[in-house]
Structure 1
Amino acid sequence: MLMIMQSQLEMLGSLNAKMEMLIKVTEALAGSQPAPKPEMEQKIDAMVSEYQKRLKALAE
């Protein structure tokens, strides 16, 4: 059970990295300057935090 949760957390981290890369590529293609993305980062952090809480609750 814990191994499955560990792999899910790793996949989530990998997805986050891929999303960040996609945002950078999209900005480059659009020719825009990298804008601060605190709102998006906060949403991602909140999703990761909530997911981790649920996994911990399942582990107990």
Structure 2
Amino acid sequence: MTAINPADFSRAGATLLSNLPAHDAESLTAGGNQALIVLGEQVYQLRITRAGKLILTK
């Protein structure tokens, strides 16, 4: 999967993507670099690296 620049949502061809929920990773981490995401009974850790990449681990 490739990252999409939020500005690209308004471009032609991005209509399909604009129907998907979008969440700002920095908001999810409350300005930090880590957050927990719960799916059912599983807990995942979302981390923003120094290079600005996202890592999701179980």
TM range (shorter): under 0.3
Larger radius of gyration: 1
Give the strand-richer structure, 1 or 2: 2
Q: Which has the higher contact order (CA 8 A, sep 6+)?
A: 1
If the length of structure 2 is used for normalisation, what is the TM-score?
Answer: 0.25
If the length of structure 1 is used for normalisation, what is the TM-score?
Answer: 0.25
